[in-house]
Structure 1
Amino acid sequence: GVAYLAERGRIAKGRTSAVIIPEPLNVDRICIGHRGVYWFEVTARGRIAHGSMPFLGVSAIDGASRLLQIARDELMPKLAARRTAMPVAPPGACHATLNVNGIEGGQRVDGIQTPCVADLCRVVFDRRFLLEEGFDATRAEVEDLVRRAREASPGVQFELRDLMVVHPVRTPDDSPLIAALQSSIHRVLGRAPSLVASPGTYDHKHVARIAGVPHCVAYGPGELELAHQPDEYCRIEDIINATKVIALAILALM
């Protein structure tokens, strides 16, 4: 994909003047960047025992439950109080967030009896951090979360593993690429566009971090609120208008 092209110099500063990435962010909006992403996994390890004598074991699931409780009751309210100056859409995504993407522990298969105290439980988290927070502070906060869960769970060992890190990016508002798109959107749609930032991440990170190209935005048809949903769609009219907008912007930059 884009990372492959950037790593091999096909997209590069001095070779590429600007990049427009088609993304479903509505045809009257220009996306100038995105929040940061930190996916991580916490593994809790207890001690197995027969399920009829749980007092002889240490439940990894109980340890993971304490981790989740501390995250929900203490960390998440702190994140909700933080707000970025970036124009992230929708408004709820202007805050730092933490989501539990998945949890696995104990009996895995229905119908197969495993009368045991769970000695292993894994939890995968999705932390979206703000440009103002930075990754180092974000990870330190997660390390503190794991430390507190360890202190509250005697006999349970916790291991933190990084899965993915994406740093926030933002294209300056005075970029000539943004100006060209603003003009072409006004010409095609008859109204001024708004500048937004994406709640998720997209290929902008590769263009900025690997290729070093400063002028990059996302623009295209489709509704952001429908992203990753089973009924995601684009209106034909929006596809046509977005095509016109991109073509006019490219001509203006040539």
Structure 2
Amino acid sequence: MSTDVVDLTRRLVRIPSVSGSPGESDVLELLLGTFDDRYRVRTLRGPDGGLRAVAVVPAVPTGPLMVFTGHVDVVPTGDPDAWARPPFSGDLTDGRVWGRGTTDMKGGVAAIVASLDAAPAGSAVAALFTVEEETGSRGAADAATLLDGLDTGLLVVAEPTDGRVVRGHRGVTWLRVVTDGVAAHGSAPHLGRNAISGLTRVLDRAAAEGTGWDTLNVGTIGGGTAVNVVPDLAWARVDLRTTDPLADPAAWWREQPDLAAVEPELALPAVLLDPDDPEVVRLGIEPDDRVVGYFTDAAVLTGALGCDRVVLLGPGQTDLAHRRDESVAVDALHRAVADYTDLITRWDHR
């Protein structure tokens, strides 16, 4: 029985699977029942018994595999009342499936399942489903162990790319930067040194003249103890993205004398596809000269699986990821299944 990619997307979206929640395991449990005896399913469970990863491999693995991958976690919804439709409803209206994760990336996960279902027996294709991608690809390395002993020849990441192969994605660095100060009574600020003011100056300077990154986002910020106390500590968490694999985005911050600490939280490299790779050429893959800003599990999986040939191709729209009223077009889901099925066919006959 063939997988209905739209129905599966809706079922996946109806399971709230915010990163770190039990819903991640619930989604993976649902996926366990979608594969027939052409495949073997391998699982990784955490100390609480919940699923942490699922791999689907051929019953009789042959040659290097094309491995599809997708994460099942989603970012928080914010205020659900601010959504036009309930964020975990999976509503099907206006030719679109609506809800958190439709674009990023349960639509892509459903398309992977449907394409493996449509693949002929004996196809050299596998899939790896992960958790906690949204919090820094924290589940990817452990998930990769499920493919131990197998040869990965091509990694296909079903993240949203508007249905076109893109050249790759940026690397990401997350830092926690800290300023210190001198506490004093709020009525006598001249007797202290305001750590928040100091942090503000550094952040303004970073935006105006900082180097080593393509984009900078100040994601969270905090400091101080009370409104009537000059704050002696302030901090911010910053997100830096770059396409340069040799860049060190933290270097500029380490050089700032008014920072008391620069604490690395995450560093994942850029992932770029070589369009002149002989295998890529043989497969007829022609990527857009576009590098998406988000990171993917490929930043971890390339090293863990020993495969740096990565295709980013997914049904969602890149500008809808993480936004309120997220959705994916039904046509895009069907097109993704067709594209993945075509890739599998070409891989088997390369």
User: TM bucket by the smaller chain?
Assistant: 0.7 to 0.9
Q: Deviations over 1:186-232 (max 9, x none)?
A: xxxxxx87353221110111221221113221111011111111122
Determine the structure 2 residue equivalent to 1:85.
none
Aligned pairs, number: 209
Matched, 1:103 2:209: no
Contact 1:11 1:207 in 2 (8 A): no
Determine the structure 1 residue equivalent to 2:290.
196
The counterpart of 1:48, out of the listed 169, 173, 183, is: 183
Query: What is the distance in 1 between the residues matched to 2:288 and 2:267?
Result: 28
TM-score (norm 2): 0.55
| Gapped regions of structure 1 (runs ≥ 5) | 80-94, 108-112, 151-156, 183-191
Determine the structure 2 residue equivalent to 1:126.
239
Determine the structure 2 residue equivalent to 1:36.
171
Q: Deviations over 1:49-71 (max 9, x none)?
A: 11112122211111112212221
Determine the structure 1 residue equivalent to 2:43.
none
Matched, 1:10 2:147: yes
How many angstroms does 1:32 deviate by? 3.3
Query: What is the distance in 1 between the residues matched to 2:280 and 2:329?
Result: 25
Pairing 1:140-155 to 2, within 5 Å after superposition: 140-144=251-255, 146-147=256-257, 150=258
Matched, 1:162 2:162: no
How many angstroms does 1:179 deviate by? 5.2
Contact 1:47 1:118 in 2 (8 A): yes
How many angstroms does 1:105 deviate by? 1.4
Contact 2:179 2:198 in 1 (8 A): yes
Contact 1:26 1:220 in 2 (8 A): yes
How many angstroms does 1:48 deviate by? 1.3
Determine the structure 2 residue equivalent to 1:229.
323
Q: 1:206 to 1:249 in 2, by over 3 A?
A: same
What RMSD over aligned residues (CA atoms) do the two structures have, in Å? 2.3
Q: 1:166 to 1:121 in 2, by over 3 A?
A: same
**Aligned partner of residue 241 in structure 2, secondary structure:** strand
**Which structure dedicates a bigger proportion of its chain to helix?**
1
Higher relative contact order (CA 8 A, sep 6+): 1
Contact 2:175 2:250 in 1 (8 A): no
Query: What is the distance in 2 between the residues matched to 1:119 and 1:214?
Result: 46
Give aligned-pair identity as a percent. 28
Contact 2:174 2:237 in 1 (8 A): yes
